[in-house]
Amino acid sequence: MTYSKILGTGTYLPDNVVTNFDLEKTMDTTNEWIIQRTGIKQRHVARDDETALSMAEAAARQAMDAAGITPNDIGMIIIATTTPQKMFPSTACLLQQRFAIAGCPAFDLNSTACAGFIYGISIADMYIRSGKIKNALVIGSELATRVVDWNDRATCILFGDGAGAFVLGSSDEPGILSTHLHADGTYNDVLFLPVNIGKPLEVEKELFLTMKGNKLFKLAVNILDKLFDETLAANHMKKSDVDWLIPHQANIRIIEAMAKKLELPMDRVAISLDEQANTSSASIPLALDKEIRSGRIKRGDMLMLEGFGGGLAWGSALIKY
């Protein structure tokens, strides 16, 4: 049987760091409020010359180094991003050009928001398992800080920039065991970026992320709870079979509720939001790479990945690392 396995991971974070104390100086907020409500202490904020493309390239090169492969070994590029280099062509096509590997499929997942990375690995997994391709690059690259309203203290404190990448490759040994994707457009008004190309653009008014934080919080806890049950049942597994939770990094209180659901202690949960905030579709690979590089996550560990975001869209992946 053919599986897709994580062959390597990589990340990129802008050097520029903005702490909660920095934000205290520019808006009506406090370090204490932000930490208590979210768990976030600081975030990386890209400089003008950093883009979804440049960050994706850096993360992808690191992931390919870790996997011991070169761009010529890549059979598909998927970039999950809500902040692409251009509306089109895709950031993935621009990256393909940089790697000089014309020919392989390359596309962005722009509208799956913070669930985009899980959607990306699910698609790549299908292609690898069917034997159509051998290796895929799946990347989350986000400049979330460019689409928040820095005058809205309820949203701007939550987000950061960065990129994370996986090289997935075919293997005879178990890797990705299953992926589970869902969406419910009923909740399209809970989190959205209102740029509307169906009418003349008013970009300065529309290019801000809009969120009903409280409602989203409750929805997230509810859908993720059911998602874990579904994922474990599909693999005939128990909670105790899961070694690590790799959650989307939106809010420490949501993550704690999910750890409790899986009966996992917090030292078995990959956390990066304290230092990186919510980096949207980059948050899952960023959190996983951190634990792999620290040596805490080891080959053979059973990983539960989950993501949710605008749409609503959400999904999970159960992976033997």
Ligand X SMILES: CC(C)(COP(=O)(O)OP(=O)(O)OC[C@H]1O[C@@H](n2cnc3c(N)ncnc32)[C@H](O)[C@@H]1OP(=O)(O)O)[C@@H](O)C(=O)NCCC(=O)NCCS
The catalytic site residues sit at: 114, 248, 278
Identity (one letter) of the amino acid at 211?
M
Between CA 185 and CA 290 the distance in angstroms is 33
Q: Is 62 in the site for ligand X (CB under 6 A)?
A: no
**Smaller CB distance to ligand X: residue 42 or 54?**
42
Identity (one letter) of the amino acid at 37?
R
Characterise 103 by phi-psi region: left (phi > 0), alpha (psi -120 to 50), beta (else).
left
CB of 135 to ligand X, least distance (A): 29
> Contacting ligand X (CB under 6 A), which of 247, 309, 311, 315?
309
Between CA 244 and CA 262 the distance in angstroms is 10
| Pair 162, 12: CB distance under 8 Å | yes
Quick one: which segment of 31-39, 68-76, 178-186, 288-296 binds ligand X (CB under 6 A)? 31-39
> Contacting ligand X (CB under 6 A), which of 71, 89, 105, 213?
213
CB of 190 to ligand X, least distance (A): 9
The sign one gets for the Cα dihedral 22, 293, 165, 12 is positive
> How many other CB atoms sit within 10 Å of the CB of residue 97?
13
Cα angle: 54, vertex 42, 243; to 5 degrees = 85
Residues from 119 through 138 that contact ligand X (CB under 6 A): none
> Contacting ligand X (CB under 6 A), which of 121, 209, 220, 317?
220
What residues have CB less than 8 Å from 71, skipping those under 6 apart?
64, 99, 100, 101
**Smaller CB distance to ligand X: residue 251 or 276?**
251
**Smaller CB distance to ligand X: residue 29 or 178?**
29
Q: Is 186 exposed, middle or buried (0-12, 13-18, 19+ CB in 10 A)?
A: exposed
The contact mask relative to ligand X for 65-104 (x = CB under 6 A, - = no) is ----------------------------------------
Residues from 191 through 210 that contact ligand X (CB under 6 A): 191
Q: Is 38 in the site for ligand X (CB under 6 A)?
A: yes
Rounded to 10 degrees, what is the CA torsion of 48, 52, 53, 59?
110
CB of 282 to ligand X, least distance (A): 12
**Two tokens at 277?**
């905030």
Q: Is 114 in the site for ligand X (CB under 6 A)?
A: yes
Residues that bind ligand X (CB under 6 A): 29, 33-34, 37-38, 114, 153-154, 157, 191, 211, 213-214, 216-217, 220, 250-251, 278, 309
